[in-house]
Homo-oligomer: A and B are copies of this chain.
Amino acid sequence: MKIAMLGLGKMGGNMTRRLLRSGIQVVGFDFSQDTVNQIASVNGMIPSTSVEDAVAKLDGESPKIVWLMLPSGDPTENQIKDLVPLLNKGDIIVDGGNSNYKHSQRRGAWLAEQGIGFMDCGTSGGIWGLENGYCLMTGATPEVAKVLEPVMKALAHEDHGWAHVGPVGSGHFTKMIHNGIEYGMMQAMAEGLDLLKGKEEFNLDLAQITELWRHGSVVRSWLLDLTAESLKVDQTLENIAPYVADSGEGRWTVVEAVEQGVAAPVLTVALQARFRSQDSKGYSYKLLSLMRNAFGGHAVKTK
C-alpha cells in the first residue's frame, strides 16, 4: 500500500514515520525540501518535489489516497481545491488536521460532487503518537472508511485507537469535543495545583503530590502523568511566561454549545482563562476600577 502525505511537520512527519514502520509506503511532500530529504533518507519515505510529483508517484495505486496534515483554514482549503484536477474519480483525500467540522462537511459534499472520496480524521496523541500510536476519530462513508482501514491500524494505538464514528464531518466534530474536554481537564488541574501552591503554610511539594495521585486516585490520567513528570524537573515555573495559547477547537466547542443551546460552563470558562492570560491590557479591569472610584470614592491604582 502506498499513500501520499502532504505536510511533514510535527504531526505529519511522525505519522509518516509510523506508517513506514508498519510497511506502508509513503510519498511525502513539504514546502521544506530539507524536511522531505531528511525523512526520506532516515526513514525511507519516497520524496517528492511538488504536490503534482507526489500524486504522480502514486500511479498504479487505486484508489490514490492523499493525506493532508496542514494548518486548518486557507492552507487546507486551497490544497483540496488544487488537488482535485490531479485526481481521478474514486480517489480519496483525508484531512487529518484540525479543521472546523462544518468546513469538512462542506468540502466532503463538494468533493463528492467531483467524484472524490473524503475522510475527516481527528488526530489526537500529540508528540507521543509516534511511539504510542495515535487516537483517530474518522468521519466518512463506509466505503471510504473501509479503504483506509490498513492505514488506521498502522497509525493507531494498539489497533484500538481508531474508529469510524459517523458521516463526513463527524470525525472533526468528535475531535473538537475531545479538545474541549481537554481544555476543561487541564484547567481543573491547573486550578487545583494553584490552590495547593497557594496554601503556603503547608509548603506542599507539587511534584510529590502529582506523582502520588498517579497511583490509585480518582484523578489519575495521562495529563496528570505528564504534569507530574514535568513538575519533577521544576515546580517554580520561574522561566515560563503566564501566557496560554488557544487553538480553533476550544473556541469552536464553545460556539457549538451556543448553537446547540447547551450550557457548557466548564468548557467555556476554561477557554476564557486562556483569553485572560493573553490579555495584557486589562481594559475591563480598568473600567471596574473606574466605576468603584466613581460610586464609592475608592482609590484607583495608577500605573
Q: Which residues of A contact B (CB under 8 A)?
A: 10, 124-129, 132-135, 137, 139, 156-158, 160-163, 165-167, 169-170, 173-174, 177-199, 202-205, 208-209, 211-224, 226-227, 229-231, 237-246, 251, 253-279, 281-298, 300-303
A219 to B173, CA, bound (A): 16
Select one of B133, B174, B186, B191 contacting A267, CB under 8 A.
B191
Whether B297 pairs with A126 at a CB distance below 8 angstroms is yes
Whether B195 pairs with A177 at a CB distance below 8 angstroms is yes
Contact of A194 with B291 at beta-carbon distance under 8 Å, contacts A202-B173, A217-B125, A240-B300 already known: no
A255 contacts across to B, CB distance below 8 A:
255, 258
Contact of A212 with B10 at beta-carbon distance under 8 Å, contacts A219-B178, A269-B269 already known: no
A20 to B266, CA, bound (A): 42
Copies of this subunit: 4
Whether B195 pairs with A291 at a CB distance below 8 angstroms is no
Q: How far is the CB of A236 from chain B (nearest CB, A)?
A: 9
Contact of A291 with B216 at beta-carbon distance under 8 Å, contacts A170-B204, A241-B302 already known: no
A231 to B291, CA, bound (A): 10
Whether A283 pairs with B197 at a CB distance below 8 angstroms is yes
Whether B287 pairs with A194 at a CB distance below 8 angstroms is yes
Contact of A191 with B184 at beta-carbon distance under 8 Å, contacts A209-B163, A292-B245 already known: yes
Select one of B209, B218, B241, B265 contacting A223, CB under 8 A.
B218
A253 to B135, CA, bound (A): 34
Contact of A218 with B284 at beta-carbon distance under 8 Å, contacts A266-B184, A303-B240 already known: no
Select one of B160, B208, B267, B298 contacting A192, CB under 8 A.
B267
Contact of A269 with B265 at beta-carbon distance under 8 Å, contacts A157-B216, A243-B289 already known: yes
A240 to B145, CA, bound (A): 35
User: Nearest B residue to A282 by beta-carbon distance?
Assistant: B242
A149 to B115, CA, bound (A): 57
A212 to B139, CA, bound (A): 14
Q: How far is the CB of A122 from chain B (nearest CB, A)?
A: 9
Contact of A199 with B295 at beta-carbon distance under 8 Å, contacts A191-B184, A285-B244 already known: no
Whether A127 pairs with B223 at a CB distance below 8 angstroms is no
Whether B283 pairs with A237 at a CB distance below 8 angstroms is yes
Whether B258 pairs with A170 at a CB distance below 8 angstroms is no
Q: How far is the CB of A13 from chain B (nearest CB, A)?
A: 12
